[in-house]
Amino acid sequence: MTKNANQIVVIGAGIVGVSTAIWLRRAGRDVILVDKGAVGMGTSYGNGGILAACGVAPVTAPGLGAKGPKLLLDPNFPLFLRWSYLPKLLPWLMKYLSHANEPDTRRISKGLAGIVADSVEQHKSLVNGTSAEGWITDSDYCFAYKDQTAFAGDALTFELRQQAGFVPEIIKGGAVHDYEPALGPDIGLLAVMKDHGYIRNPAGYVQALAQVLVAEGGEIRQAEVIDIDLTDGKISAVITDQGRIDCAGAVLATGVWSKPLAKKLGLNVPLESERGYHVVFKDPSIHLNATYMIASGKFVATPMDAGLRCAGIVEFGGLTAGPSKAPLAFLHKHVKLNFPTLKYSGVEEWHGHRPAPTDSLPLIGEIAGSGVFAGFGHHHIGLTGGPKTGRLIADLITQKGTNIDLSAYDPGRFA
């Protein structure tokens, strides 16, 4: 087959890949979206659904390195480790914790803001006038604390949010339960971020976006990408288990599974799975008026079509092990504590894999002049930053240009 000078293969049908494919198609490129699984059924399936525009603070806050071992042993903190995995994890973990200082936290926060701060606008721009626009719901995003002292413990995080343009409205005391009657009595303060939003069904949303792509002339294939064919250092084809796809460029957007193909292109990406969990409480007796981050349990609560989804937890255990019991038990316990009147008909439990680079910043850009563009490593901001990432990659491929400094996301930092 002759190489198609206009054809781009997007590898990975999560929110980043589908968004990239749509923006490329709208820029006039022939696009084939390829994934070994069903669209939207990987990591994009299980997230908390919140368009967290204010989500600019990395997990590696100052002092985490010193506190980490103690937190791992604390049954009331949502950090878990498969101890048998520690020897393999340790090199990555040391690099990760090396960023748990204030200068790096501020630098990383600035990079995250460039991807997420206009999240709601970016999602709406992607879906405007399409069959997918009904999936987005405007909402406040509330951070729930026991009291003023607990809130003050996150002072640096809220300073970083303020620098990104997000200043909370503070609600205290009895006004908390006027605002949200479903919250338990232990919540005495809400920091309310206006002008946010959420997706009522993340998998359904990504699948709807895939339908938009097809309606606009793109193509979707279910196949496993096993190699990339390079000619004189430039991509000439993507090799799948269903055959060869000749192309002029490709986008690697397969989350934590991107590492092997990236290595072929000269990147040694320190990328780990940060396993996340969710529980959907079906037919809930409560309906939340907003979306919530419950600070004491570090989980989000989102009212979705399928029920109340409570999602979060950090667990390190690699890609192959099944779900652990302790993180799910933690979620159930803290949901009961914070939403004491909640009743439901059943639950859905899920665990998946966030792609976590050691510096908490995604890889966005061309890899070593190969014509292959990275779009992975989004850690906690995949859904939030997917459409913006897709637009940036499409602009790079079509040489449209951007007024954003992309150096923080340069894949070459792991060359």
pLDDT tens digits for range 172-222: 999 999 999 999 999 999 999 999 999 999 999 999 999 999 999 999 999
Q: How many residues does the chain have?
A: 415
pTM of the model as a whole: 0.95
CATH of domain 52-116+129-200+271-357: 3.30.9.10
CATH tag for 7-45+204-268+360-414 (out of 3.50.50.60, 3.90.1150.10, 3.40.50.2000, 3.40.980.10) = 3.50.50.60
246-270 tens-digit pLDDT:
999 999 999 999 999 999 999 999 9
Burial of 342 (0-12, 13-18, 19+ CB in 10 A): middle
Q: What is the pLDDT of residue 67?
A: 80
Give the model confidence (pLDDT) of 145-174 as tens digits. 999 999 999 999 999 999 999 999 999 999
Question: How much is the average pLDDT of 237-243?
Answer: 95
pLDDT computed for residue 255 by the predictor: 94
Confidence of residue 294 (pLDDT cuts 50, 70, 90): very high
Query: How far apart (Å, rounded) are the C-alpha atoms in residues 104 and 40?
Result: 33
3-state SS class at 58: coil
Model confidence at 1: pLDDT above 50:
no
Q: Please, are residues 180 and 338 in contact by the beta-carbon 8 Å criterion?
A: no
Sheet holding 372-376, edge to edge: 219-222, 30-35, 7-11, 249-252, 372-376, 363-366
Q: How confident is the model at residue 40 (pLDDT cuts 50, 70, 90)?
A: confident
The mean pLDDT of 20-29, rounded to a whole number, is 97
Task: Sketch the domain layout of the chain as residue ranges.
Answer: 7-45+204-268+360-414, 52-116+129-200+271-357
Predicted pLDDT of residue 306 = 95
Q: Using 50, 70 and 90 to split pLDDT, how confident is the model at 93?
A: very high
CA distances to 13, 48, 222 from 37, rounded to whole Å, are 8, 21, 6
- Residue 104's CB is within 10 A of a number of other CB atoms, namely 16
Q: How many CA atoms lie within 13 A of 186 on its CB side?
A: 12
Which among 277, 349, 278 is positioned nearest to 316, based on CA atoms? 277
Query: Vertex 36, ends 366 and 356: CA angle to 5°?
Result: 50
Q: Are 363 and 374 in contact (CB under 8 A)?
A: yes
